[in-house]
A and B are shown apart, each in its own frame.
Chain A
């Protein structure tokens, strides 16, 4: 029920349309003290959007009775990560699972709060990855900073690669190395999956200059096979609970490299 009303509110917000207000709108819908009054469907300007948050509306949101799942990480994902480091015989009680689930949300809030403070001090509006890393270091999670920095730089490399491949595919021969943001990347990735398969050999031919003139056959397919097999095996059961927005965020991951060979 709670979830239903959440979607309803999102639906309403979607009508607001302007990208400018989306940040604000989704924040309003997250805010459990307030709700969007029906009468407040005013023109699409920022003051109105800001004011919506002040109008208290108490006909929904019994926050205290329902344990709202959408303010926590999906429990299945949390359990999976917990099990990764526990011995196989270990059992986890339900209340422990829920507690860890709550702790994760608390952790995100805690670090975000610190990162946000920094942004405000420096009069910036956007919390960046660096702010998050900085906040973790400041709050005592120094040990996380290094692996996370590595993770982030690997991610950035992969994004740069992806965007350059996408440029090849769409024949955008610009010299810039514009990075595609997540949303755009997802859209482009999902959209271009069939295209990608079609133009695959073209991409490979380009690459011949840089590689050691391998034949087009075995090393290439070997690479494909290995990459995907490894990715799928390594991430394992990563798909459950991660539906919706998350799975759409990497359009490529749903791409089946074997489809043409089946």
Chain B
């Protein structure tokens, strides 16, 4: 069944407006999703698409809050410590506390969330 909006839709929202030439790779997202637990069985195709956008929002919020810390320290370079401060200061980022607090070895910790 053809709708009136089809034609315009495919060019404005349809092709490149979908998730863009993806800002974040869906396959990678799916991979990380599967690693989040052994019992993750199947993942709908739409779930990584939602995540691709959600991660953008998340990165932006985290960066914004970290940058606020940078500015407060009267610096121009965003450091890891700023990210850590932002995480500590923000309730919804509590799940990242473990990741940012052990500063010496956090870069080699696998990001497996099983708290």
Q: With A109-B36, A207-B2 given, can you name 16 additional A-B contacts, CB distance below 8 Å?
A: A53-B38, A82-B60, A93-B77, A99-B80, A112-B40, A113-B36, A127-B47, A129-B44, A140-B91, A147-B57, A154-B17, A155-B18, A161-B6, A162-B14, A210-B7, A227-B11
Partner of A77, one of B24, B79, B80, B91: B24
Question: Nearest CB to that of B21 among chain A residues?
Answer: A238
**Contact count band on B:** 35 or more
Of B7, B58, B62, the contact of A207 (CB 8 Å cutoff): B7
Residues of A within 8 A of B44 (CB): 126-129
Name A65-89 residues within 8 Å CB distance of B. Answer: 65, 67-68, 70-74, 77-78, 80-82, 84-86, 89
- Inter-chain contact A211/B108, CB cutoff 8 Å: no
Q: Which residues of B contact A68 (CB under 8 A)?
A: 110
Cα distance A158–B33 in the bound complex, in angstroms: 25
Residues of A within 8 Å of B18, CB to CB, are 155, 158-159, 250, 253
Q: Which residues of chain A come closer than 8 Å to B89, judged between CB atoms?
A: none
CB distance from A188 to the nearest CB of B (A): 13
Interface residues of A in 145-159 (CB under 8 A from B): 147-148, 151-152, 154-159
Judge whether A122 is part of the interface by a CB distance below 8 angstroms.
Answer: no
- Do B22 and A242 have beta carbons less than 8 Å apart? yes
A105 at the interface (CB under 8 A from B): yes
A72, A131, A151, A152 interface centre (most CB from chain B within 10 Å): A151
CB distance from A76 to the nearest CB of B (A): 10
Q: Is the CB of A210 within 8 A of B4?
A: yes
Whether B25 pairs with A113 at a CB distance below 8 angstroms is: no
- Interfacial chain A residues near B50, Cβ < 8 Å: 129, 132-133, 148, 151-152
Closest 7 CB pairs of A and B: A231-B16, A227-B11, A109-B113, A109-B36, A140-B92, A105-B111, A245-B27
Cα of A228 to Cα of B56 in the assembled complex, Å: 22
Cα–Cα, bound, A77→B1 (Å): 38
Q: Which residue of B lies closest to A185 (CB)?
A: B45
Q: Which range holds the interface residue count of chain A?
A: 35 or more
A154:B13 contact, CB within 8 angstroms: yes
Does B88 belong to the interface (CB within 8 Å)?
no
Q: Kindly state the separation between the CA atoms of A65 and B107 in the bound complex, as whole angstroms.
A: 10
With A129-B49, A245-B26 as given contacts, are A239 and B78 in contact (CB-CB < 8 Å)?
A: no
Residue of A with least CB distance to B13: A158
| A175–B6 touching, CB < 8 Å | no
Partner of B46, one of A111, A129, A164: A129
Bound complex: CA A252 to CA B21 (Å): 10
A213 on interface, CB distance cutoff 8 Å: no
Contact A86–B67 (Cβ < 8 Å): yes
A255 at the B interface (CB under 8 A)? yes
**By CB atoms of chain A within 10 A, which of B34, B82, B100 has the most?**
B34
Answer yes or no: A235 CB below 8 A from chain B CBs.
yes
